[in-house]
Amino acid sequence: MSEHDAVEVISAKRDRQSLTDSQIDWVVAAYTRGDVADEQMSSLAMAILLNGMDQREIARWTAAMIASGERMDFSGLSRPTADKHSTGGVGDKITLPLAPLVAAHGVAVPQLSGRGLGHTGGTLDKLEAIPGWRAALSNDEMMEQLESIGAVICAAGDGLAPADKKLYALRDVTGTVEAIPLIASSIMSKKIAEGTGALVLDVKVGSGAFMKDVDRARELAGTMVALGTDAGVRTTALLTDMATPLGRTAGNAIEVAESVEVLAGGGPADVVELTLALAREMLAGAGITDVDPADKLADGSAMDAWKAMIRAQDGDPDAELPTAREQHVVNAPSTGVLTRLDAMSVGLAAWRLGAGRARKEDPVQAGAGVVWHARPGDAVTEGQPLFTLLTDDEHRFERALASLEGGYDVAPEGTDFTPDPLVIDRIG
Ligand code: URA
């Protein structure tokens, strides 16, 4: 006889009770080994979504998910470690310039990343646009690269928090992704198991993000910061806007090109601003507070770290990036000021053009995506290009154009308009 049974645990949460440590340990372990069925775990996940969990329950749930797999250990490195996690957004290529920028300060940045699903892109899909680049590294290769170069962006192995892998797939098909205790424990179990010393969380808010409103985003950020801090990881969070997509591109190769512009000392102002804000948090977490990270974008050392990082993973940082076979331009309908550019509409358009995938086994097109030629606050002239849509398959334009419809507003000339701030709040 086991200590607990699934119906007892589900009923307790259904009746708004706090689960005991022992109930949590049991249900997570039993689900991972297959003794609790998917239908039972989906019922429990829905009870958690509806009735919540207190901080003790969330911390215990996180610990149980960590205990389901291996823990990595970076304590043998001569550099301090700092990592970043974004809850996901449109045009969010920040990891690409950020990892080498922070590494250029002598910090090790282990970015265990994923592929994209749905309208938000995946970091690995973007880097795979670079000829030759390889996402899979052994643990030894990763450690060696962290010691010598400092930055690694690679595929997360299956060993970290396998309970989360199984539960996340279940939540995805049962309408239970949005539960704050489950999101927080999912993200933090992987980050704590990874063993980073410092962590900055970029919690996105707005139409293109999981969290559509700022109060829920603040609650998620606070929950994750508490989990990290209690586990001994120096953790902070920035709440950042995802009503508008980041930069000027959403896709794979085109986001790499934009990141390289930032590393060369240029690039869109918002991408530079967020890269520097997150770099400051990571550096502070690693004990480095007396520097301005902008200097290492200006003097080329972040670019040197980028090239070394790409070469170490068999990529050619100087090779031409793939381009799409077809393009379609959308012109501004009137003269005035762009006052809204909706992240979700742009993300869906890029996805429909082939930059993202519908099922996890689908391929992505390296050259596909959307370039926007104005950002909220910019003046536009009737007939000027507003968007360039890129894809290898002409038949994709129609559905991509449909997702952009209603996704932007041009107000009359002279309209007084100030864009919302990019960094909304800091927690930690
Ligand atoms: N990202 C994760 O890893 N887990 C979630 O639950 C949501 C976003």
CATH number of the domain residue 23 falls in: 1.20.970.10
User: From ligand 1's centre to the CA of 187, what distance in Å?
Assistant: 5
Residue 427 belongs to some domain of the structure: no
How far the first Cα of the chain sits from its last, in Å, is 44
**CA quadruple 351, 353, 357, 358: dihedral positive or negative?**
positive
The answer to whether the beta carbons of residues 100 and 142 sit under 8 Å apart is no
pLDDT for the residue numbered 1: 56
Annotated active-site positions, please? 85, 164, 171, 186, 190
Q: Which has more confidence, 156 or 106? A: 106
- Helix (H/G/I), strand (E/B), else coil: 163: helix
Measured in Å, residue 265 CA sits from the centre of ligand 1 at 32
197: DSSP letter: S
Identify whether 333 is part of a domain. Answer: yes
pLDDT score of 120 more than 80? no
Closest by CA to 61, choosing from 50, 82, 40, 45, is 45
Assess whether 379 and 243 both reside in one domain.
Answer: no
* Same domain (yes/no): 202, 336: no
Specify the 3-state DSSP secondary structure of 87.
coil
Please give the pLDDT value at position 117: 64
Classify strands 326-331 and 249-251 as parallel, antiparallel or unpaired. unpaired
Query: If DSSP codes are grouped into helix, strand and coil, which group holds residue 328?
Result: strand
Q: Please give the Cα distance from 7 to 190 (Å, whole number).
A: 28
The pLDDT-based confidence of 183 (bands split at 50, 70, 90) is very high
The pLDDT-based confidence of 156 (bands split at 50, 70, 90) is confident
Angle formed at CA 37 by CA 32 and CA 43, multiple of 5 degrees: 105
* pLDDT of res. 323: 98
Mean pLDDT throughout 278-302? 98
Query: Is the pLDDT score of 76 beyond 60?
Result: yes
**Are 278 and 346 in a shared domain?**
no
Q: Determine the average pLDDT of the residues in 399-403.
A: 98
What pLDDT, in 10s, does the model give residues 126-138?
999 999 999 999 9
* Atom number of ligand 1 nearest to Cα 183: 6
Instruction: Report the CATH number that the domain containing residue 383 is assigned in CATH.
Output: 3.90.1170.30
167 lines ligand 1 (CB under 6 A): no
Whole-structure pTM value: 0.96
Q: Are residues 146 and 290 in the same domain?
A: yes
Question: What's the distance, CA 182 to chain centroid?
Answer: 17
pLDDT at residue 195 greater than cutoff 80:
yes
Average pLDDT value for residue range 293-317: 98
Q: Which of 24-33, 87-96, 164-173, 333-342 has the weakest average pLDDT? A: 164-173
Residue with tokens 């400051």: 280
Q: Are residues 213 and 268 in the same domain?
A: yes
State whether 226 and 195 are in the same domain. Answer: yes
Range of the domain at 286: 82-158+165-312
Kindly state whether residues 252 and 374 are assigned to the same domain.
no
Over pLDDT 90: what percentage of the chain? 93
* Structural domain includes residue 1: no
Domain shared by 300 and 356, yes or no: no
391 with 260, same domain: the answer is: no
Same domain flag for 245 and 380: no
69 part of a folded domain? no
pLDDT of residue 158: 84
**Inter-CA distances, 87 with 75, 120, 200, 297, Å:** 27, 10, 11, 25
Q: Is residue 219 part of a domain?
A: yes
CA nearest ligand 1 atom 5, residue? 183
Phi and psi at residue 388, to the nearest 5°: -115, 125
- 172 & 210 share domain: yes
pLDDT at position 114 is: 80
202-217 residue pLDDT tens: 999 999 998 999 999 9
Q: 361 falls in which pLDDT band (50, 70, 90)?
A: confident
Q: Is residue 296 part of a domain?
A: yes
DSSP 368-403: -EEEES--TT-EE-TTSEEEEEEES-GGGHHHHHHH
Q: Does 33 have pLDDT greater than 80?
A: yes
How far apart, in whole angstroms, are the C-alpha atoms of residue 394 and residue 327?
A: 8
For the chain, the domain total comes to: 3
- Probe target for ligand 1 pocket from 53, 66, 87, with the most ligand atoms within 8 Å of CB: 87
Instruction: State pLDDT tens for residues 4-29.
Output: 999 999 999 999 999 999 999 999 99
pLDDT value of position 94: 98
Share of the chain above pLDDT 70, in %: 99
> Could you tell me if residue 65 is inside a domain?
no
Structural domain includes residue 108: yes
Asked if residue 183 has its Cβ within 6 Å of ligand 1, the reply is yes
Q: Please tell me if the CB atom of residue 176 comes closer than 6 angstroms to any atom of ligand 1.
A: no
Q: What is the CATH number of the domain that holds 110?
A: 3.40.1030.10
**What are the distances in angstroms from CA 335 to CA 92, 380, 383, 414?**
29, 6, 8, 10
**pLDDT confidence tier of residue 173, bands split at 50, 70 and 90:** confident
Domain termination residue (choose one: 284, 312, 340) = 312
What type of residue is 84?
K
Query: If you average pLDDT over residues 60-76, what whole number do you get?
Result: 96
Q: Name the band, by pLDDT with cuts 50, 70 and 90, for residue 157.
A: confident
CA distances 305 to 146, 181, 289, Å, are: 11, 37, 20
262 and 395 fall within a common domain: no
The chain-wide mean pLDDT, for the chain, equals 96
